[in-house]
Homo-oligomer: A and B are copies of this chain.
Amino acid sequence: MDPERLVEALVFASAEPVPAAAVARVLPGDVDADAVLVAVQARYAGRGVELVQVADGWQFRTAPDVAPLLLQVVPRPRRLPRAAMEALAVVAYHQPATRTEIEAVRGATLSQATMDALLEAGLIEPKGRRETPGRPTLWGTTDAFLAQFGLRSLRDLPRRDDLLVERQPTPLV
């Protein structure tokens, strides 16, 4: 059996990212799962459906440029509002973080609606408590967060400096 066909079928069947280890399990011992995955990825490059590496796994996804036409047919949930995106960014960079810490960085209170939106979308999850008075809950991002934004790991987040340099410093007059 052609290993590419096996891998293609296995990853295609799942709506979730499939870990490379799970791919390796269906292949004969002497076949390199990563090499096969990369070969399948190349085969689908530029097609309407692409193979991407996200959240410690591999997933077939529609190509981003097809979206406008797809959205006529496939339902799309509401986008996260700005407050939720910023709170999410704080958690992503400062995790694990308490609610108070998130509020401190943003300089604004975190509304219940924002917390609910992030929790319902499964983008953040409790990661224990901080051992300080009141034992506040610590929040961190989930694998669903990585999958949602097409990240392989938190290391794929741009470095702080890379985010800030895009701005050209205007010389003082």
Q: How large is the interface on A (under 10, 10 to 19, 20 to 34, 35 or more residues)?
A: 20 to 34
User: Known contacts A63-B5, A66-B6; is A12 also within 8 Å of B48 by CB?
Assistant: yes
Contact B72 A9 (CB under 8 A): no
Q: State A63–B4 Cα separation when bound (angstroms).
A: 12
Q: Is A173 an interface residue (CB 8 A)?
A: no
| Chain B residues positioned under 8 Å from A8 (CB to CB) | 47-49
Question: What copy number does this chain have within its complex?
Answer: 2
| Chain B residues positioned under 8 Å from A69 (CB to CB) | 1, 6, 10, 26
A22 to chain B, nearest CB (A): 7
- Residue interface mask A1-34, B partner, CB < 8 A = 1: 1101111111011100000001001100000000
Q: Is A62 an interface residue (CB 8 A)?
A: yes
| Chain B residues positioned under 8 Å from A65 (CB to CB) | 1
Q: Is A85 an interface residue (CB 8 A)?
A: no
Q: Is A58 an interface residue (CB 8 A)?
A: no
Q: Is A172 an interface residue (CB 8 A)?
A: no
Picked from B1, B2, B48, B60, the residue with its CB within 8 Å of the CB of A4 is: B48
Chain A positions near chain B (C-beta within 8 angstroms): 1-2, 4-10, 12-14, 22, 25-26, 46-49, 60, 62-63, 65-67, 69-70, 72-74
